[in-house]
Amino acid sequence: MTTFLARSATVLLTAVAMLSFLLGLVALVGLGRPDRMAVYFVVTALSVAGVAMLMRRDYRSRRAAEAHLPEDRRPVRRVPRRPITFPLKETLLTFAFWYAAVAVIDRVTSGYTSTFTLAAIAPFAAFMFTTITIAGRHIAFRLTAEEDEAGPPDRPRT
């Protein structure tokens, strides 16, 4: 399989996985059809497995092609930085805050809170807001830590 076809199939399978996952949630919450939800989630699992297989094959073929290159023409491997530790407590508190905020905003704007809001909309919105909040804080801390690691400049600023 050519690289173009493999990468195209990966993109297509990723789209299928996301669509079937969202349709599975709609089937469960909106339609109350757990039998259809199971089918959608099986399609999601198969698509994710296909994406993983294709990505592993692409990674192995790139590594094999690089191994045949002369030493001076091989791409430079970046030394990974120390990983960011995952703040579980902070994430759970942030998620709870955003979940409550979304539920209150829905209550204020629509006048009532439905089960669909509590089971589908609020968790999704809280997840997205939590991701943005936590990732933004870590990016900011990582940037300032890199500036601190760089040390003082060679000459003072004027």
Model pLDDT for residues 50-91, shown as the tens digit of each residue: 999 999 999 999 889 888 888 888 888 777 776 656 678 888
Mean pLDDT to the nearest integer, 4-11: 91
pTM above 0.75, yes or no: no
Q: Give the mean model confidence (pLDDT) for residues 85-106.
A: 88
- Angle in degrees, 0-180, between the axes of helices 3-25 and 34-67, rounded to the nearest 10: 160
Judge whether residue 136 has pLDDT over 50: yes
User: For residue 37, what pLDDT is reported?
Assistant: 85
Q: Give the pLDDT score at 1.
A: 56
**What pLDDT score was predicted for residue 8?**
92
Report the pLDDT averaged over residues 102-127.
Answer: 89
Residue type for position 76: V
Residue type present at position 92: L
Name the band, by pLDDT with cuts 50, 70 and 90, for residue 29: confident
What angle (nearest 5°) sits at the alpha carbon of residue 46, between those of residues 41 and 49? 125
- With beta carbons less than 8 A apart as the criterion, state whether 28 and 44 touch: no
